[in-house]
Chains A and B, each alone.
Chain A
Amino acid sequence: MSEMKLYEVFIRAKSGLNHRHVGSLHASDAEMALMNARDVYTRRKEGVSIWVVESCHITASNPEHEHEWFDPAEDKVYRHPTFYPLDKEVENM
């Protein structure tokens, strides 16, 4: 029997929230993945909506390159509000 495909599972805990990655599972197609995800990941009503995406469709950044990949943001402290001191009288801005 050929290997089943790997799917990543995303669940929305309640309306208004983002879908969040909860894990993965094997299935022969998307529809089966959805049913399996319901049975595996929402047995205690953990969600109101499920997304499944075949893992091979996810393009991920390389953890080994984490530093150089994200370092453009490292020296830009001025992107944060705390970079701009405010007088006490107007500090609630």
Chain B
Amino acid sequence: MYSQGLTDAKGGDEPAELLAEFQAKIDREEKIEPRDWMPEAYRKTLIRQMSQHAHSEIVGQLPEGNWVTRAPSLKRKMILLAKIQDEAGHGLYIYSATETLGVTRDQLNDELLTGKAKYSSIFNYPTLSWADIGAVGWLVDGAAIMNQVPLCRTSYGPYSRSMIRICKEESFHQRQGYEIMTVLARGSKEQKDMAQRALNRFWWPSLMMFGPSDKDSKHSEQSMKWKIKRFTNDELRQKFIDATVPQAEHLGLTVPDPELKWNEQTGHYDHGEIDWNEFVNVIKGNGPCNKERMQARIKAHEEGAWVREAAQQYHANKKSEAA
């Protein structure tokens, strides 16, 4: 009757009136749904962004998984497991939404496992201490929420709906992270030092999560026009800094940026320059854990093969029993 993904559409020679009507629809704040006509470049941009987002949820389980067996109490362990379960679910929601654009799950999976697709640079950093789990929840999930809240209003319907669901679930992630930091910051000197070191490690990589600076961001302008994005990378980063610095101060922790200063005039914090070389380097695959993360994903995929085969076999057996 129809194909869900208009995979035969080609970019470049799209009728001007269709393009104009598409943009008008976006400008009227109407959502684009899977069957609607859309420019091929819009589809491609979404597939790239959404699959990166889904991959990040999946790979994001790994740094957290590192502490499941060593969480300091049963309560903390159960919370961490619940959080990791959520990440898997979030990956699933976004993969499903991406499939409405005409790609298959297998394709997306392949792209991740062959290194063709990217995921968030942050997950290539190690979680060295228990406090890092606190910092990940507070800062990494905090930055993710800052990014995801405006994505609830993104122009593509399925992406928007998955974001609404995710944001609702995610709100516990950041709070549990901050609570871990609170307990440590108010504990012994060693615990407070551990919290401070975790903040030192995760502050700058968290700021990098918002992507390149606006002046270097090659996708930003078009994505803003299509209302896939609602704020630029730098705007979101600034919002995050403004929200987070008082939270650090409240715990008596110091943000590791000597140039950080409240600016009365702008009503924002001024901050030091991000080390973009580090960012580019991690994206290119040379971060502290890139190889380890990919190996873990590939291993999990290969070792899980028998589960997929068993499921297929079970289905085949049931069918032949019924026949």
Contacts and interface: CB of A to CB of B under 8 A. Distances in A.
Nearest to A19: B33
B178 A83 contact: no
Interface residue tally on B, bucketed by range: 20 to 34
Nearest to B35: A49
A12 B33 contact: yes
A76 B82 contact: yes
Given A76-B82, A78-B79, A15 B176 contact: no
Nearest to A76: B82
B250 A89 contact: yes
Interface stretch (B46-54, B167-175, B259-267): B167-175
B6 to A, nearest CB: 16
Contacts of B18: none
**How would you classify the secondary structure of chain B's contact residues: helix, strand, loop or mixed?**
helix
Nearest to A34: B1
Given A15-B30, A76-B82, A93 B172 contact: no
Q: Which of A17, A49, A81 has the most CB of B within 10 A?
A: A81
Interface in A1-24: 12, 15-18
Contacts of A80: 172
A87 B250 CA distance: 9
A93 B33 contact: no
A78 B172 contact: yes
A87 B251 CA distance: 10
Contacts of B30: 15-16
Interface string A36-64: 00000000000001000000000000000
Contacts of B75: 78
Contact of B172 (A15, A18, A79): A79
A16 to B, nearest CB: 3
Given A16-B31, A16-B160, A49-B35, A90 B176 contact: no
Interface of B: 30-33, 35-36, 75, 78-79, 82, 86, 142, 157, 160-161, 169, 171-172, 174-176, 178-179, 182, 246-247, 250
Given A79-B82, A87-B250, A90-B250, 18 more contacts: A12-B33, A15-B33, A16-B31, A16-B160, A18-B161, A49-B35, A76-B78, A78-B78, A78-B79, A81-B172, A84-B178, A86-B175, A86-B178, A86-B179, A89-B250, A90-B246, A90-B247, A93-B175
